[in-house]
Chain A
Amino acid sequence: MKGNKIIIPIAIVLLLAITGFMAMDFFGVFEKPNENPYEYNLDTFKDVKPQDISHKEIQQIFTQIEALRAIAIDKDDYIYVSGADKLIKYDKSGQFLHEIETGFDAFCMAISEQGKLYLGSRKEIQIYTLSLELIDTWKIHAENAILTSLAVNEQNIYLADAGNKIIFRYDLNGEFQNEIGRKDPSQGIDGFVIPSPYFDVALGRDGELWAVNSGRHQLESYQEDGRLISSWKKSSMGVDGFSGCCNPSHIAILSNGSFVTSEKGIERIKITSPTGEFLSVVAPPKSFDLGTKGIDLAVDSKDRILAIDPKRKQIRIFTKLEE
């Protein structure tokens, strides 16, 4: 009989629990009405460990440029940005200095040591003084050209053409010299895979040309005659590599030869060693609006990293944390 005294309360509690559960199941609303069962979620790949972040954002400059696409810095750290129909010059503190209407959609920009600014649209290059006076215009000889990046040194200007998936070398008089990166297995050149109009080039410390083979998640360096020097690649959904069909979308090179890279899909800026090992994150995905693409990069003489944010129409400036 003593056992019955224990069993009955337990049975009552169990019965109440089951009744409650059934009532919740019947009347309760468990499904969130706006939940998307087919959501494409990259959140887990966007997490960055705090110890991996090496830089802080110190300044934002609002440019008011539509389709902001290009940034460059001259040897005195003056900042130039361009996009649809505008070219703007700022001093290194971000103070506005001058603005002109270019009459075309700029896709890319580079500044030579001699003080000339080269502004590229799809098939045309405008050349300006650093006071933003137009001095010349070149037409590109290639059909279907989509110029997405320029790099210039004392002798040459390199044009990355995403339309033809090739780099053109011109001399500074506008004479075509040679192509770089056409597929040639005998020279170990795989050819550029450029699925979308993100095809960036930059000059290394020794004057070598670095190009992003974004469809292969690969960076390749070339001599001016088109001979391949070296390459490295890193495919990964993690922070240590590049993901999607075409990343990194943009690069810049620090004074120690390390690469600053920006990506689309998982919006972030990070630093890798000259041979491609992941070093740190400059700006994690949470610092960008979802869907931000085309984060062009530049590095000034103090190794500050300047990035354009086309969604916010801003120039964003990052310095090392310990500074």
Chain B
Amino acid sequence: MSKDEKNKDLSRRDFLQKGFRLTAALSLGGLGIFLAKDASSEDMLWQLDPAKCVQCGRCATHCVVTPSAVKCLHVFDMCGYCDLCGGYFRPEAKQLHTGAENQLCPTGAIKRNFVEDPFFQYEIIDELCIGCGKCVAGCDAFGNGSLQLQVSHDICVNCNQCAIATNCPADAFERVPSSKKNISKGFSGGEDV
């Protein structure tokens, strides 16, 4: 073996060693950055901005979860506790009582509780709510807008590409940090309610 060939062998070995070290260093550095970022960052979740929501009904029909992970949320401190609640009664309701024929909600997911004459409190039964937004539209039209749609994070599977967000005509869906997972309007706005 000539001297030149020996130098050539050494340089190749040297090159491979250096390459290996560089790859190892980059891998370790990348892993470190990934772990540091993972430790410092929050999970991002899908949420619906009620200020943009137009109650199109697609939250009920497009969610991959059945029934939808979008539920009605009642912001009690905005509520007028109305006897004639636009979110509870169908517009053509003949009588203001809890008969199914008078209720606006297609699944009967709103419970009406008497407080004192003439005030009533309205509770959402999450298990029955399908997130259609019909009550939200009724409350917005006549009342204070205390009924609002929100993604329930206990149910949402946090799809990478949310099927409702893709179809939302009002562009009301957005990614929010898990520490601020609700975007409700009103006095309790932005807090976990």
Contact = CB atoms under 8 A, between A and B. Distances in A.
A245 interface: yes
Tell me the interface secondary structure of chain B in the complex: loop
A40 B137 contact: yes
A38 B82 contact: no
Contacts of A37: 57, 61, 132
A193 B116 CA distance: 12
B80 interface: yes
A262 to B, nearest CB: 14
B115 to A, nearest CB: 12
B55 interface: yes
B134 to A, nearest CB: 5
Contact of B56 (A36, A45, A264): A36
Contacts, number: 77
B50 interface: no
Given A37-B61, A216-B118, A235 B84 contact: yes
Contacts of B119: 193
Question: Which residue, B118, B133, B140, B142, has most C-beta atoms of chain A within 10 A?
Answer: B142
Interface residues of A, number: 24
Interface string A218-252: 00000000000000000101000001111100000
B158 interface: no
Contacts of A216: 118
A215 B82 contact: yes
Interface stretch (B4-12, B34-42, B85-93): B85-93
Contact of A40 (B55, B82, B144): B55
A216 B82 CA distance: 10
A244 B134 contact: no
A237 B82 contact: no
A274 interface: no
A246 B141 CA distance: 11
Interface residues of B, number: 30
A42 interface: yes
Contacts of A42: 91, 141
Nearest to B82: A245
B80 A244 contact: no
Interface string A243-276: 1111100000000000000001100000000000
A291 interface: yes
Contacts of B137: 39-40
A246 B143 contact: yes
A195 interface: yes
A196 interface: yes
Interface in B25-74: 55-58, 60-61
Given A216-B118, A244-B86, A245-B85, A195 B91 contact: no
A36 B57 contact: yes
A183 to B, nearest CB: 10
B118 A215 contact: yes
Nearest to A216: B118
B83 interface: yes
Interface in A250-307: 264-265, 291
A265 B142 contact: yes
A245 B85 CA distance: 6
B7 to A, nearest CB: 73
The 10 closest A-B pairs by CB, nearest first: A195-B80, A244-B142, A40-B137, A245-B82, A38-B132, A36-B57, A265-B142, A38-B57, A265-B141, A195-B82
27 contacts: A36-B56, A36-B58, A37-B132, A38-B57, A38-B106, A38-B132, A38-B133, A39-B57, A39-B134, A40-B137, A40-B141, A42-B141, A195-B143, A196-B80, A215-B80, A215-B83, A216-B118, A243-B142, A244-B142, A245-B82, A245-B85, A245-B86, A246-B142, A247-B142, A264-B142, A265-B86, A265-B142
Interface of B: 55-58, 60-61, 80-86, 91-92, 104, 106, 118-119, 132-134, 137-138, 140-144, 169
Interface of A: 34, 36-40, 42, 45, 193-196, 215-216, 235, 237, 243-247, 264-265, 291
